[in-house]
Amino acid sequence: METDIETNAETHIRLRAAGPEDTSLILEFIRALAEYEHLSSQVKAEEDTLGQFIFKEKRAEVIIAEYQGAPAGFALFFRNFSTFLGRPGIYIEDLFVKPEFRKKGLGKALLRSVARIAAEEGCGRLEWACLNWNEPSAAFYKSQGAAPLTEWTTYRVTEEKIKTLAGFS
């Protein structure tokens, strides 16, 4: 069941909330993003787990962007919380537009749509990460008013190390 978020006949852009029937499309976008970022070997996601965590457990939300009726991009995001602000926030895990649909306003429409959700929910922050080498995306984000956090370093513990840290192995 598709739920329109925004339709603009003038720009030919339609944004809609993804549903379970979009799981394979979401995985297609994830793989295309990973290819663009030269990280294809790191994609372990499968349709069944995406469907489980996004649509059944509601751990994340996805907005699909269409251009002239064709699937063109997506934003996948989830809620977090800032203890310093004492308020919720939203973290955009992925925002991707297929290369053939870039420069048509889709990225801006997706970012604006997630920002509206953040504003409506009283969020104190809307955050995401961008690879250092990805200058076109960094320039786009800066043009939308975002500022890079240069004083923070992101740390990551992955699946096997999580188990070790948890004391399971």
Q: Which residues are catalytic?
A: 141
Residue 34 to residue 167: CA distance in whole angstroms = 31
| Contact (CB, 8 A) for 142 and 109 | no
- Tokens 């203890």 -> residue: 83
With H, G, I as helix, E, B as strand and everything else as coil, classify residue 167.
Answer: coil
**Tokens 């800032």 map to which residue?**
82
3-state secondary structure 102-148: CCCCHHHHHHHHHHHHHHHCCCCEEEECCCCCCHHHHHHHHHCCCCC
